[in-house]
């Protein structure tokens, strides 16, 4: 049975469970605007910077950073970013539900701690940042104008 499954998968087939290209924050202009004008949510050792963009297609664009000053080794920086990406990947749908269809949400996750943390520790901190953001969004939408 297992051999049959592996036989169907060729060497060229790649199952990508990462963040989709449309959900990656890549533009220097978008990143600089996000860092300048974005709202910050902090749960040590993670900072989450969020900015809504009015021109868009209703996508959530995420970026991840681990400063070279804190993590000298590239291996450690990549580990920290990989863990943050894996924590955020299933939560993109919750962030997308808080959007209108005519705007994008730009989010940057920055790990500012001295040491790389385990998956469950980072998941707890990122979840608290996202929950705080969603609570503020729901309270803004529920207040009568």
All structural domains of the chain: 19-142 (3.30.230.10)
Q: Residue 39 and residue 75: Cα distance in Å, rounded?
A: 29
Q: What is the pLDDT along the chain (145 residues), one digit of tens a residue?
A: 434 443 444 444 445 577 888 889 999 999 999 999 999 999 999 999 999 988 778 899 999 999 999 999 999 999 999 999 999 999 999 999 888 888 899 999 999 998 888 899 999 999 999 999 999 988 877 666 5
Query: pLDDT (tens digit, 9 = 90+) per residue, 105-124?
Result: 999 999 999 888 889 999 99
Q: What pLDDT, on a 0 to 100 scale, did the predictor assign at position 15? A: 53
Single pTM value for the model: 0.83
Token reading at 34: 């996000």
Backbone angles phi, psi at 144, to 5 degrees: -70, 145
**Residue keyed to tokens 């681990």:** 66
């Amino acid at each position: 049975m297992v051999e049959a499954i592996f036989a169907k998968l060729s060497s060229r087939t790649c199952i990508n469970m990462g963040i989709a290209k449309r959900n990656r924050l890549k533009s220097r202009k978008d990143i600089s605007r996000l860092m300048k004008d974005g709202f910050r949510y902090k749960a040590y050792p993670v900072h989450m910077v969020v900015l809504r963009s009015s021109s868009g297609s209703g996508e959530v664009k995420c970026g991840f950073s681990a400063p070279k000053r804190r993590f000298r080794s590239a291996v450690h920086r990549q580990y920290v970013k990989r863990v943050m990406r894996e924590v955020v990947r299933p939560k993109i749908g919750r962030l997308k539900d808080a959007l209108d269809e005519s705007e994008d949400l730009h989010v940057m996750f920055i790990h500012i701690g001295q040491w790389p943390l385990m998956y469950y520790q980072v998941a707890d901190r990122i979840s608290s940042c996202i929950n705080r953001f969603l609570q503020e969004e729901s309270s803004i939408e529920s207040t009568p104008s």
